[in-house]
Structure formats: structure tokens, C-alpha cells
Amino acid sequence: MSTIESRPVHTREHGNTLVITIDRPRARNAVNAAVAHDLAEAVQRLDEQPELRVGVLTGAGGVFSAGMDLKAAANGESATVEGGGFAGITEAEPAKPLVAAVEGFAMGGGFELALACDVVVAGSGARFALPEVRRGLIAGGGGAVRLPQRIPYHLAMELLLTGETITARRAAELGVVNHTVEDGSAESEALELAARISANAPLAVTAAKRVARASTRQSEQQAFTAQRDELRALLASEDFAEGARAFAEHRSPRWAAR
């Protein structure tokens, strides 16, 4: 395992997983310009390094993120990154899977960071909210766009229009959270899940994510056409041949990502 630290965001490699930690606990891991740019760089690193297969996004000090740093914003700082949106992630659509490991509060932009991930693990004491309407705003970092796609419309609108906080248990009931675990163990559970994802063919994993993400913006016919193109490429890959051989030989595959 190797460790690389950068200003308010720390990254470390755990096998094939890149753990990305927002480390501003005194500010409840609120996102300012430095955090946004560091997160954008971390996601870029995840996509560019072939040995990395999955990212785990979490926060230090028992808090995921309180969202936008309002004090920094009042001083003219922007928490958006060109091409990446809020926090450098919410509009970036990284190619590789991201798992959110949520402890404590995921408020406003913090909730939107979790929604930008592909899988969410939460400690039982975690809390989620999109309170922007209480401050004269909307959940502009993806909350108003993504939440109605993830859960039934009327339930999404209740959260968006009231700004009320929900528990991890309720978030799991709604389908926003995949797994709830004991407080303090969200990251370890996320790492275990990331290892299970990493065990699969990397080309197939990223193709599955592309198809699933694109399907929310396409007609069903367009989605099936795109899926056929992905399948055609996968069938011609070395990894598909290796997967078939490994199955026939009763052994674990050795993926080449080719």
C-alpha cells in the first residue's frame, strides 16, 4: 500500500482501489476551491492509472461532507471545476466505478457527491439532506437532476421541496444507499465491495457503467444500440477470451484490460 497526500484531499492506494478522503474535519469536510480541484485531480488519476480499478470516496473525522463551504463562497471562491462541475466530480462522469463511504452528515453538496458515485455504503448514523431550498437555492450540484432518476418522483420531490434530513436506514429503504453498516465501518465495507468489483474484467466493468449511465439520457432503442457496440468490442477483447479459458480451466482469470 502506498500513500500520497495532497492539501485538503488525501489519496492512498489499497490494492486496485484508490481511496479518496476529504480531510477538512474542522469544516465538516465542506467543499471549497482547493477541495474541488484536488477531487478533480484524484478522479483523473483514478481513470488514468491502469492498475487502479475502483475509487472509494469518503470524509475524515466521521463526517462525509457538509457540502459547499459557504464561508469560502462568500469570499468569492468557486467550488466548481470546469468539466467536472461541483467538487470537480458531480459532472465529471469518471469512467471507473466510485463507491461512496458515508459517515455522519452528507448534506447538500455532500449528498450530491454521494449521488455522483455508483454505489453508496453508509454508517447507520449517517444523515442525508438537500436543504438548499431553505437557503433560497436549489440542489444545483446534481441533486435536483439525479435524485428523481434514482428514486420515485414523489419521494424525490419531498426531499427536494422540504429540505428535510433522512436517516441512513430511510435512505436505504428509498434505494439511495446500497448497504448500511455499523458506524465507523463504512470505509472498510466500501473497500471490500471495491475488491469484489476489481476482481471482474476491467473493460467489462467500465463498459457496464457507460451503458448504464448513458441509458438515463437515451431512448431505449438508442441504449440497446450503444450496448451492442459495447458487446461487440468486449467479444473481441483478450479479456473475454481469458474469461472463457479461466472458466473452462476452473481457475481465476488473469485480466489484461485489453
Closest CA to 57 of 17, 4, 93, 92: 17
Closest CA to 69 of 126, 141, 11: 141
| Residue 138 CB neighbour total at 10 angstroms | 13
Instruction: Give the H/E segment covering residue 99.
Output: strand 98-102
Query: Does domain 2-198 fall into CATH 3.10.20.30?
Result: no
Active-site residue numbers?
Answer: 112, 132
Q: Are strands 17-22 and 9-14 parallel, antiparallel or unpaired?
A: antiparallel
> Domain ranges in the chain?
2-198, 202-248
pTM: 0.93
pLDDT tens sequence for the chain (258 residues): 444 445 899 999 999 999 999 999 999 999 999 999 999 999 999 999 999 999 999 999 999 999 999 899 889 999 999 999 999 999 998 999 999 999 999 999 999 999 999 999 999 999 999 999 999 999 999 999 999 999 999 999 999 999 999 999 999 999 999 999 999 999 999 999 999 999 999 999 999 999 998 888 888 898 899 899 999 999 999 999 989 998 999 999 999 898
| Residue 50 CB neighbour total at 10 angstroms | 11
